[in-house]
Amino acid sequence: MSGDFLQQLDAEFDKLLEFDEEPRTLLYHYTSASGFQGIAATRKLRCTDALHTNDYKEIRAADEVIRKSLQVRQVYLGGREPRATLYDTLIKIKRYADEHILKKSAIYLACFCKERTLLSQWRAYGDNGHGYCIGISHDGLETATYDNLSPTLASVLYGPKEVEQGFCGRLDKLCATLDHGWSSLPQSDQVTAINRAYNYVLMIAAKYAVRSKHIAFREENEQRLILAPIPGTDRPLFKADGRGSLVPYREIAFNGNVWLSEVWIGPAQDEEIGRKTVESFLRAKGYDPTMIKIRRYDAPYRAMR
């Protein structure tokens, strides 16, 4: 009986790690010429350690929301015997979060937009209009090779309220799942169940923290590919950033060529020259340019170098 309940517990907890399914639209990744060259030539995409992204401050702010949510649940559960063990566990999780979840649980990110026409993205990530925006299909992401990484594609949450609602909803479901059948478990299985709940809460908290961004960026309508290493298997690669610091990253490998659906040339480039160059490059790397939409983003744009 207890074994069946623990299996059911794992199945329910796994569901809590999943996010709502996103519409199957193209996802756009803004990048420089060298970034586009590397991605298309190797058919690999780098996913950066979340602690080294531009949104680290937003992630820390999300941690604060999560810590407060855990504190509220401690008060709620503390007087509900026989779940004093769960109460104690949430205290431990809060202490763990106080030291910052991601410092002990690596999460890797690749960022996408649902739009290819955002001038703010062209300026920030598309080499100030001289770069490229590549359209990647959902099928390409689903069939990619992730090498011992658990992938989740999720929308970014803008502002603390969205983070709190999402995290607390999953946390409450987890507690309800744990509560069901608890009294019938022998003490040894109660300990096992609590330990599993502890690990799942940490994973849920980490995934919600890295989905957070300031509300001022809502126009980006960003999607993030969140990669969580299987415990004990993380073997990051390293690159030097523009400031000379080492940055951990992991790679996903696309299978075949169907993943690349569109290539948009930056508005600071000449349309005819840019298109011919992209077609020639893709052909040299084994793609069929006639199967890929290649266009220049034609917004009036004066790029500054």
What's the pTM value of the predicted model, to 2 decimals?
Answer: 0.79
Token pair 């999780």 is found at 93
Residue range 260-283: mean pLDDT, rounded = 97
Residue 64 lies in a domain: yes
Residue 10 lies in a domain: yes
User: What confidence tens digit (pLDDT) does each residue in 200-233 have?
Assistant: 777 777 778 788 888 888 888 899 998 887 666 7
Phi/psi for 296 (5° steps) reads -100, 135
- Contacts (Cβ under 8 Å, ≥6 apart) of 237: 248, 249, 250, 251
Residue 253 lies in a domain: yes
Residue 279 lies in a domain: yes
- Contacts (Cβ under 8 Å, ≥6 apart) of 33: 127, 130, 131, 132
Regarding predicted confidence, which is higher, 118 or 13? 118
The domain of 121 spans: 2-296
Residue 302 lies in a domain: no
- Mean of pLDDT over the chain: 82
Residue 301 lies in a domain: no
Amino acid 77: pLDDT: 55
Cα 301 from Cα 266, distance rounded (Å): 9
Residue 208 lies in a domain: yes
**Total number of domains in the chain:** 1
Instruction: Name residue 305's amino acid.
Output: R
User: What confidence tens digit (pLDDT) does each residue in 33-57 have?
Assistant: 999 999 999 999 999 988 887 666 6
Q: Which helix (DSSP H) or strand (DSSP E) does residue 44 occupy?
A: strand 44-49
Residue 151 lies in a domain: yes
Asked if residues 170 and 66 have their Cβ atoms less than 8 Å apart, the reply is no
Cα distances from 77 to residues 3, 188, 288, in angstroms, run: 25, 21, 59
CB count in 10 Å sphere of residue 81: 8
pLDDT-derived band of residue 1, with 50, 70 and 90 as boundaries?
very low
